[in-house]
Structure formats: structure tokens, C-alpha cells
């Protein structure tokens, strides 16, 4: 079989395993998708993948459920390095002003990957947040958001950030969105990664 096709299949398998194993709380297998120095960024966390696993596990034990659903993947290969962009949704359920709500955020996982000892792993994961919405679980419920607080949050993930800040998370305010300097910077870093200029 074509070696590049095998690499693409391995990367897609890894990306899918990330979502399934994390959301299921399968922490032992979840650890295998990362290289040792792996780095994870999210609205509520930025740091080493090992630390992300620890805090995710603690949140899972407390009942926090941040779930992921994946769509198509586009993979750029350059030797032992790759960039994978995978369409995804992030969903979270929590109380918002005493109303149980679901937030759904649509975007992409932007992954820098490397093949080492014949094994692909994630070196860096940076989500790109494109649009989101919030809905009461009970459609008959009445929900009133603080419009000034909402407007102060980034457009691509403002409802997700609104919920997360209400339940106590510190949310990063300059994550990449569909357009803008943050996502252009990320694309440049991705080009450097593929060219072997970044570590």
C-alpha cells in the first residue's frame, strides 16, 4: 500500500482515538496519542498534555462532561511531520443562571504531528473556534444572558466561554477563530512545523 496513504490512515485513527478515549475517560489509552512533550490548548487550559490529562481526569471524576464529535480531516504531510485539520464540535452541559443548558461550538482541531520510531503522535493541538450557540435543555425554559458580558467574549466561542466562566474556569480570550491575526499566526506556525523550522 502507498506509504503516504498508510500515514494518513494512522493520523486519522489517532485523531479519532483522541476524541473517543478522552470523552470515555479511557486515560491510559488517551496518553498514547501524545508525544512526551505534547502541548494542549483549549479555552480553559493551555499547557503540557500530561497536565491536561490530569486536570481532565479530575474534572471527569467531578462530573464535568466536555464532549467532542468529529467530521472530516485534511492532512498535509512532509516526511515525518504532518498538520491535520479536523472539523469538530465541542459540547458541554451545565447550569447557566439556574437553567440547564447545552453549548455547542463548531471548529477545527489543528494538530502538529510527528512520526517517531514508526509511530505518529500529537506534538501540539490548537483548536480553532468558528461559531457556537447555547440552548436550554428544556425548550420551554426561559434563559436570559448578560448581553454586555457576552459581547465582551470572542465571537467564535463566546457562549462556550460564558458558560465556562460561570462554572469557574478562567477562559483564554485570544484563541484562533475562523479569521483574524490569531489564526493567521497559527497557519504560519504550521507552515514552519512542516518545513522543519519549529520544534
**Per residue in 66-105, pLDDT tens?**
999 999 999 999 999 999 999 999 999 999 999 999 999 9
Looking at the chain, list the stretches that DSSP marks H as alpha helix, in order from N- to C-terminal side.
Answer: 3-24, 27-30, 49-61, 147-151, 158-166, 181-194
For 143-182, what is each residue's pLDDT tens digit?
Answer: 999 999 999 999 999 999 999 999 999 999 999 999 999 9
CA 17, 23, 26, 32 torsion-angle sign: positive
**Three-state DSSP class for residue 16:** helix
In sequence order, the 6+-apart residues with CB closer than 8 A to the CB of 128 are 85, 107, 108, 109, 110, 156, 175, 176, 177, 178, 183, 186
Q: Which of residues 197 and 142 earns the better pLDDT score?
A: 142
Grid coordinates representing 195 are 518545513
What b-and-e string marks burial along 54-74, b requiring 16 or more CB atoms within 10 Å of the CB?
Answer: eebeeebeeebebebebeebe
pLDDT at residue 140 tops 70: yes
pLDDT at residue 5 tops 90: yes
The whole-number pLDDT of residue 63 equals 85
**DSSP one-letter string for 153-192:** S-GGGHHHHHHHHHTTPPPPS---BSSSHHHHHHHHHHHH
For 37-61, what is each residue's pLDDT tens digit?
Answer: 999 999 999 999 999 999 999 988 8
Grid coordinates representing 157 are 466561542
Domain 3-190 belongs to what architecture? Roll (3.10)
All structural domains of the chain with their residue ranges: 3-190
The whole-number pLDDT of residue 77 equals 97
pLDDT at residue 133 tops 90: yes
Instruction: Calculate mean pLDDT across residues 28-32.
Output: 96
The whole-number pLDDT of residue 48 equals 98
The whole-number pLDDT of residue 199 equals 67
Amino acid at each position: 500500500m502507498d506509504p503516504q496513504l498508510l500515514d494518513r490512515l494512522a493520523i486519522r485513527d489517532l485523531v479519532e482515538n483522541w476524541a473517543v478515549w478522552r470523552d470515555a475517560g479511557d486515560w491510559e489509552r488517551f496518553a498514547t496519542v501524545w508525544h512526551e512533550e505534547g502541548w494542549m490548548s483549549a479555552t480553559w487550559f493551555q499547557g503540557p498534555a500530561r497536565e491536561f490529562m490530569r486536570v481532565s481526569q479530575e474534572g471527569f471524576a467531578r462530573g464535568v462532561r466536555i464532549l467532542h464529535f468529529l467530521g472530516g480531516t485534511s492532512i498535509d504531510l512532509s516526511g515525518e511531520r504532518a498538520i491535520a485539520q479536523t472539523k469538530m464540535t465541542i459540547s458541554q452541559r451545565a447550569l447557566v443562571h439556574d437553567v440547564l443548558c447545552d453549548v455547542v461550538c463548531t471548529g477545527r482541531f489543528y494538530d502538529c504531528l510527528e512520526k517517531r520510531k514508526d509511530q505518529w503522535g500529537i506534538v501540539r493541538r490548537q483548536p480553532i473556534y468558528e461559531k457556537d450557540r447555547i440552548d436550554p435543555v428544556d425548550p420551554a425554559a426561559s434563559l436570559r444572558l448578560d448581553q454586555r458580558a457576552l459581547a465582551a467574549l470572542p465571537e467564535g466561542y463566546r457562549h462556550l466561554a460564558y458558560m465556562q466562566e460561570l462554572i469557574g474556569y478562567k477562559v483564554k480570550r485570544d484563541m484562533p477563530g475562523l479569521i483574524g491575526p490569531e489564526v493567521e499566526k497559527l497557519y504560519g506556525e504550521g507552515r514552519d512545523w512542516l518545513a522543519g523550522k519549529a520544534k
